[in-house]
């Protein structure tokens, strides 16, 4: 999974060709607790790097989901809207949030690899 990168806002992004799949990390779900509501961006909308592109809510609070890269939303995962608990179960795989047609692949360069992210996540939670 060397093609997966991570953001400081705890999103993961997997690039295949010019399509990026984005979700939130396992660490993020552990901090949030049980996710009970999800809102995703609409297909066809353009999102800007570091802009909000969705919402997840736990029983306690709402949190914005940011996109770590700019692009046009080409697909969203209805399964996690219908059953948000799927995000807690499988955050970094089947419970992806949305897919983007990437505008500028060089934006990936500022993101972290797995090793750096794990270190960052550990530090930010301690």
Residues near another protein (CB under 8 A) are 33-34, 36-37, 55, 57-62, 81, 85, 88
Q: Give the residue from 63, 65, 72, 33 showing the smallest Cα distance to 51.
A: 65
CB of 11 to another protein, least distance (A): 19
User: In this structure, are residues 120 and 47 in contact, taking their beta carbons and an 8 Å threshold?
Assistant: no
CB of 60 to another protein, least distance (A): 6
Structure tokens at 91: 């955050």
Instruction: Identify which of residues 33 and 51 has a Cβ nearer to another protein in the complex.
Output: 33
CB of 26 to another protein, least distance (A): 14
Structure tokens at 114: 């797995």
Instruction: Identify which of residues 85 and 110 has a Cβ nearer to another protein in the complex.
Output: 85
Instruction: Identify which of residues 3 and 34 has a Cβ nearer to another protein in the complex.
Output: 34
Instruction: Identify which of residues 84 and 102 has a Cβ nearer to another protein in the complex.
Output: 84
């Amino acid at each position: 999974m060397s093609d997966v990168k991570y953001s400081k806002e705890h999103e993961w992004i997997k690039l295949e060709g010019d399509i990026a799949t984005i979700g939130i990390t396992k660490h993020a779900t552990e901090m949030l607790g049980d996710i009970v509501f999800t809102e995703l961006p609409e297909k066809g909308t353009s999102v800007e790097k570091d802009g909000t592109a969705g919402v997840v809510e736990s029983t306690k609070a709402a949190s914005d989901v940011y996109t770590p890269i700019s692009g046009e939303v080409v697909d969203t995962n209805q399964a996690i809207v219908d059953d948000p608990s799927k995000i807690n179960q499988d955050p970094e795989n089947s419970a992806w949030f949305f897919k983007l047609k990437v505008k500028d692949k060089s934006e990936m360069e500022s993101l972290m690899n797995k090793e750096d992210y794990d270190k960052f996540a550990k530090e930010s939670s301690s």
